[in-house]
Amino acid sequence: MAVPQVLRSVIPHRPKRCSAPEAEKLLRETLAIVQALDTDTPDDSRLVEAVGSIGQLISTAHRHSRDDRVQEALCALLRDICISDAMSDQIAAAGGVEAIIEAGKRHRESSAVQVAAAGALRNMCELDHVASRVVLKGGVKLLVDALERHGMERATAAAGTRSVAGAAAGALWALLVHDQAAAALCATGGVSALVRAAVVHLADGEVAACAAGAMRNFAALDEAKHHVGRAGIETLCAASVTHTSSEVVQAQVCGALRNLSVDEHSIECMVDAGGVEALINASTSHPESSKVQVSVAGALRNLSLNEDVAARIVVSGGVDALITAACGHSNAEVRAEVAGALWGLCVSDEAEMAIAAAGGIKVMVDATLSLPDSAKLHGRVAGALRKLSAHDELRREIADTGGVAALIKSSRAHANNATVQAGTAGALSNLVADGHISQAIVSNGGIEALLDASATHVSNDKVVARAACALATLSSSELGRARLSSREAVGTLVGLLDRQAKARASIVVTLGNLSDTAARRKLIVDSGGLAALSAVACCPQDEETRVTAQSALSLLSGAPRGEDLREGSLPPSYNACFPDGVGYRL
């Protein structure tokens, strides 16, 4: 839309000095030009053409700083022209931040000025350096003061049909992305004012969304969470119930509850206020909203760390809601959060069976196959399958839904991700208890994946211990031993003996199982296995592992002398491992 010629002609003839009514007229006519532009396709150059010198407008208004109508017109104009980072920079460079805050401070009692000033600050603080300037100049304190003075007021025509509470909460929502603003809000005690305004305007969707958004961003800062308190959590849950149909309100409330659900006190407050039910209701009420689903799943994941709360989530329909969300969204973020929540809920037999009964295993396996690049998703699915595979009756279901191949693919695709590797190794170490599944693991390259994971994450106790446990079971079959009978495989196992105490017993068992043929015994000897096993067999700290190592050495000693065990290859400590004369002696 072109700028109306009749209005554009007003701009070049700005008087250097004018009365307050003239200044107000100038600002409002300029505002009319801005509002006449096509806001669907914002264009900075057209704005600059329409507005002219921002600095001159600010100077004109400054001469009438005591006139609330002039200041309200200036703040409204700056609010409406701040449509991009570039315009925000221009306004800030011209002293716009200071002009807005000064207008708000000087006209504290004017609702119209407070609404316009808050709107301008909200639009300007997208940029970090501008937001820092707003905080430094007292912007947070101004907004809190506005809430305290006008928080009880309803929207009025004089304020542009917006309430001060909605405008101030909206500005805080935008500002609180920045840690400086959160610290300033803590210092001013502003959370209480925000909560009070949200309670008074509970039926107002704008206030509810903005207040929840502000609390969400505020609670992202660890040291700020406790400032929200029981009253804030109760207000959030009440807003969720009141605005069930509002996607914006639900997304912000659920996001706030997610950020707050990280300590026992907040979780207790949330449960008491009906937070579990509010979250599940938000998920079922807005199945197509990825923002709602991500926040709900994240919150339920945090809440499930408490076993009693996890049980409440299951009873309240949380598992079904999560699986519905995963089925309804193909993007990695939703599916990763859902998988994380399902993993978190695996804290009891009842919960784990509920996940399986609702089709959760297939949903998670399918998610990894359709989204192979998401390490977060794969790590969480592997973690959940590790828990679920502890049940005998669920192992076949995991295998039948393609879980074995999916786990091994995850391990290969995300070789450097420790979470993926720990979950995969743990799941495979449970699944090998079933002989048929054990064969499938070997056939799909599971042994090689476990060895690679151990070598890549040699310092990670969980990865190596779980992988070693799986390999110990797999080495009990000829198919498994055949896959382990390479110089690289045996070398990896021997190398881990003196580096991973938690995996040592399983590795010793595997090497013992591999001592069944002369060729394999030779591989162990050539890889330094005798010295490594002897060192373990002489270690007094772990009696069970020491005895297992002695047994492995005894198996190795059955090799024909001169073929597999040469005198120079045996360590001096070898005979000392067998004080009773048991085992091969030189």
Q: What is the pLDDT of residue 1?
A: 34
H helices of 435-517, where?
A: 435-443, 446-456, 461-474, 478-484, 487-497, 504-513
Share of the chain above pLDDT 90, in %: 67
Q: What is the pLDDT of residue 2?
A: 37
* CA–CA dist 238, 141 (Å, integer): 27
Q: What is the pLDDT of residue 155?
A: 57
Residue 582: is its pLDDT beyond 50?
Answer: no
Report the number of distinct structural domains present in the chain: 2
Per-residue pLDDT of 88-100, as tens digits, reads 998 999 999 999 9
pLDDT category of residue 57 using cuts at 50, 70 and 90:
confident
74 inside domain: yes
**DSSP assignment of 445-464, as one string?**
THHHHHHHHHHHTTT-HHHH
341 inside domain: no
48 inside domain: yes
* CA–CA dist 442, 477 (Å, integer): 10
Per-residue pLDDT of 253-281, as tens digits, reads 999 999 999 988 999 999 999 999 999 99
Per-residue pLDDT of 330-342, as tens digits, reads 999 999 999 999 9
44 inside domain: yes
CB atoms within 10 A of CB 452: 18
Task: Fill in the amino acid letter for 257.
Answer: L
CB atoms within 10 A of CB 279: 30
Q: Which two tokens stand for residue 228?
A: 């929200």
**DSSP label at residue 327:** H
Last residue of a domain, one of 167, 183, 209: 167
442 inside domain: no
pTM of the model: 0.85
Tell me what the pLDDT averaged over the chain comes to.
87
Q: What is the pLDDT of residue 563?
A: 41
Token pair 């162990």 in the structure block, residue: 524
376 inside domain: no
Domain with residue 147: its CATH number is 1.25.10
* CA–CA dist 414, 312 (Å, integer): 34
Per-residue pLDDT of 468-487, as tens digits, reads 999 999 999 999 999 999 99
The answer to whether the CB of 395 falls within 8 A of the CB of 431 is: yes
355 inside domain: no
Q: What is the pLDDT of residue 48?
A: 58
The answer to whether the CB of 230 falls within 8 A of the CB of 269 is: yes
Domain containing residue 27: 1-167
**Residues whose CB is less than 8 angstroms from the CB of residue 383 and which lie 6 or more positions away in sequence, other chains included:** 343, 419, 422, 423, 426
The answer to whether the CB of 160 falls within 8 A of the CB of 115 is: yes
Residue 175: is its pLDDT beyond 60?
Answer: yes
CB atoms within 10 A of CB 225: 20
Per-residue pLDDT of 362-390, as tens digits, reads 999 999 999 999 999 999 999 999 999 99
Residue 159: is its pLDDT beyond 80?
Answer: no
**Angle between the N-to-C axes of helices 418-431 and 392-400, in degrees from 0 to 180, rounded to the nearest 10:** 110
Last residue of a domain, one of 118, 138, 167: 167
Per-residue pLDDT of 20-31, as tens digits, reads 787 778 777 777
Last residue of a domain, one of 167, 194, 228: 167
The answer to whether the CB of 341 falls within 8 A of the CB of 322 is: yes
The answer to whether the CB of 377 falls within 8 A of the CB of 339 is: yes
Q: What is the pLDDT of residue 585?
A: 32
**Residues whose CB is less than 8 angstroms from the CB of residue 75 and which lie 6 or more positions away in sequence, other chains included:** 100, 103, 104, 113, 116, 117, 119, 120
313 inside domain: no
Give the residue with greater pLDDT, 162 vs 456.
456
